[in-house]
Chains A and B, each alone.
Chain A
């Protein structure tokens, strides 16, 4: 009964702590998300800064060669162009396509999901699949393989009259120590 009470107290304590942490972080985050309405910057985040000195997006360029650190002049100009096109009533996609038509496919901040650009997206998936397959193969091989120590012990047993020598005992102790700590 005592331990049940103690457990209840712990769970309550942890719950209060958790609510505190989440209350501390989540509502602010939600409000910020709701306020996030700067379309020009959202579109600018999908386009590359075309200054030629960096691989940043127009919205998040921090190329140090600019007039001052943080969005360089070229990136700022792109954002202005996007702003102007939004003012003309174009949708996000239309603005994006107009900018790509103006600057070429190099203006995409991430590879397009078609043509050779698709390779960039497929590569990580391929790595994960190949890696997982490799791990599975390794695990299967490891499971099939008899352990070195147990093989030695089995060989000694097969030879008949197994003697637990001090060396064998010391080795077993060392193994047990190694495998159980941490």
Chain B
């Protein structure tokens, strides 16, 4: 099966090469058969990548320990569930997995638009084939996941061998979220290839109007949604597994995932300027280019060892390939832009400084400044080494100090932007829209101060959260009120009706509400509390309002590991609340160990308990307990963000047919028990 997978991978490379070369020839000659063959070659590339990936999965399932990658990342006792995760747990497999996800997108695009947009699609096909070709080159010739296990013999040649069992999967990856976090994050990274391909294709082909934006909006939102989910699932994994009590440590790899998310978010907002007003065309094209390049840069940071990271893959020279690819992409983008930039001229003027357009400009400014600040902070150790000869560390405190004010500014704009009108907002409209939310925000600040909240950023954050949440509620209230007048439905039905009539607008509000919830959760971080203590059995330790009683210790033997557990009773006001079982797992196969954190989570705070091992000097178990306020709001906020994005992806309910009773002439027959109706057709938009 390894030969089969390897063969499929090399065939995919050949097909991608043809899709690229044939596609370019098709663009030049405009020959319909050549266009068709290039497209079909692109689809065949995807099919072959699917086959190759499934072959590798099969090698894991069949415990084939003659393949080096399988030996390094699996063992016989590893559960089937985690054997799937082993696919992307190392350098070679994760790159193939990247190609696999990209192939899903590419195949979908080539299939969906096979008979549409004939002027644009050959360009799109070529660009997508170019990206696929790069990753296939890496998987075939630089980091092949199908490399056979070999041992050097006396003559220096390699003898093929097979091992009885593998080295096993890294313990920290043996957690359910590791099976869903990387696919989500990678789906985000790879998904941004589609808007990139359409934007570059539209520029190269001088494709008329904003059609490329309409075509790619859904793809961009899908990629953004996956990226958001991936980031949050990664944060939750770090929180639940790594045992340091937090969920975001500004590690270079975490930063790398945030960078395209920030530019992608900026694009999702600024794209509206182009759709509604024909403005910011250059900006939008470059935002998409930048987002794609940041995805590649993120991969480069993760895999090259340029910066120190807890997530680092095996160090290799693979980074040079990514640098080369990044230079090619930048070169192509610059060439296309300078050749056809006159096509991107703006159509409209800015009528007023107080308008939706201005708020989008500032929204983009803040997002881009945050992106560049995170990027330069991440790369600063490298810069400092270049200029001074020694590395200067840039850790979490720096990123927090820089990004907290930017985040608050963004939160403020989240509340302000949607309430400003396009073109110009009158003073009356400003007063009408902002009076209530501003008062509520200020009142919330006064109450928080009265209750003793003194942490400045958290206080500002809570005020802004109240402000933004009330602007959103106000928008739903006003819209639903109009619907109620027409339909006489209840508030909930009216809100649902309203949302379905303009999914993009109200889906966006739901996303904003999710972001408010996340910010509430982030505000709680300032008040974390922790305690670490060696605990004899029967002793207690107090953390916050809880008392933790170590009842006993035990061991349980599982298939792939041995777990040492603390059995901890949680008491509040001397009354039992629940039992927690923090554990430490020892994996005999690879002689590694990992923690399983026990969390008692409420909306108000998390009680987070880690079994930190046994102190060899005293032979006593050590407990590390945290009180983390408001963390649950982050996870729930994330779910609301995803829900909002899904709503925004739904098509608008086009029109509502309302049946109203009317006078019927006497003697007229009734049909199906229903009186003939006067039908009023209403517009889908309010």
Contact = CB atoms under 8 A, between A and B. Distances in A.
A161 interface: no
A32 B505 contact: no
17 contacts: A18-B466, A28-B527, A29-B629, A55-B252, A55-B381, A56-B244, A62-B243, A67-B613, A69-B593, A109-B397, A110-B394, A139-B350, A145-B349, A147-B349, A178-B277, A179-B423, A180-B422
Given A131-B365, A182-B504, A14 B524 contact: no
Interface of A, helix, strand, loop or mixed by DSSP: helix
> What interface size band does chain A fall in?
35 or more
Contacts of B401: 110
Q: Which of A14, A27, A149 has the most CB of B within 10 A?
A: A14
B529 interface: yes
Contacts of B358: 139
A141 to B, nearest CB: 9
Interface string A160-182: 00000000000000000011111
A111 B398 CA distance: 8
B453 A55 contact: no
Of all A-B residue pairs in the complex, the 4 with the closest CB atoms, nearest first, are A70-B243, A142-B350, A62-B244, A109-B395
Interface string A77-102: 00000000000000000000000000
Given A46-B397, A57-B395, A32 B627 contact: yes
Q: Which of A23, A28, A52, A143 has the most CB of B within 10 A?
A: A28
A109 B391 CA distance: 12
Given A53-B310, A64-B310, A105-B392, A69 B451 contact: no
A56 B249 contact: yes
A120 interface: yes
Contact of B629 (A15, A32, A67): A32
A15 B612 CA distance: 44
B393 A55 contact: yes
A32 B347 contact: no
Interface string B579-618: 0000010000000011100000001110000101100000
Interface in B281-318: 307-310, 312
Contacts, number: 251
B347 A62 contact: no
B392 A116 contact: yes
B451 A26 contact: yes
Contact of A54 (B309, B397, B440): B309
Contact of A131 (B275, B368, B453): B368
A54 B392 contact: no
Nearest to B542: A35
A62 B348 contact: no
B396 A14 contact: no
A1 interface: no
A32 B365 contact: no
B373 A124 contact: yes
Contacts of B249: 56, 60, 62
Contacts of B453: 26, 29-30
A27 B605 CA distance: 12
A24 B604 contact: yes
A170 B108 CA distance: 35
Interface stretch (B2-10, B382-390, B634-642): B382-390
A35 B361 CA distance: 43
Given A26-B452, A62-B249, A146-B349, A124 B392 contact: no
B361 A69 contact: no
A108 B398 CA distance: 11
B396 A57 contact: yes
Interface in B543-567: 544-545
A135 B365 contact: yes
Q: Which of B172, B251, B279, B394 has the most CB of A within 10 A?
A: B394
A128 B398 CA distance: 16
Interface of B: 170-172, 238, 241-246, 249, 251-252, 272, 275-279, 307-310, 312, 346-351, 353, 358, 361-362, 365, 368-369, 372-373, 376-377, 380-381, 383-384, 387-388, 390-398, 401-402, 422-423, 440, 443-444, 447-448, 451-455, 458, 462, 466, 470, 502, 504-505, 520, 524, 526-531, 544-545, 584, 593-595, 603-605, 610, 612-613, 624, 627, 629-630, 685
A32 to B, nearest CB: 4
Contacts of A46: 397
A64 B251 contact: no
A70 B595 contact: yes
Contact of B502 (A70, A143, A182): A182
Contacts of A105: 390, 392
A112 B440 CA distance: 40
Contacts of A55: 251-252, 307-309, 381, 393-395
A181 B504 CA distance: 11
B397 A62 contact: no
A54 B458 CA distance: 29
A25 B395 CA distance: 29
A106 B394 CA distance: 10
Nearest to A57: B395
Nearest to A52: B308
Contacts of B444: 18, 21-22
A43 interface: no
B346 A70 contact: no
A64 B350 CA distance: 52
Given A48-B395, A120-B394, 14 more contacts: A28-B527, A33-B527, A45-B397, A54-B308, A55-B252, A56-B310, A60-B249, A60-B396, A70-B242, A106-B390, A110-B395, A123-B376, A127-B369, A179-B423
A14 B244 contact: no
A25 B630 contact: yes
Given A25-B629, A46-B397, A53-B310, A120 B346 contact: no
Contacts of A31: 544
Interface in A118-143: 119-121, 123-124, 127-128, 131-132, 134-135, 138-139, 142-143
Given A32-B544, A135-B365, A139-B353, A25 B524 contact: yes
A108 B333 CA distance: 39
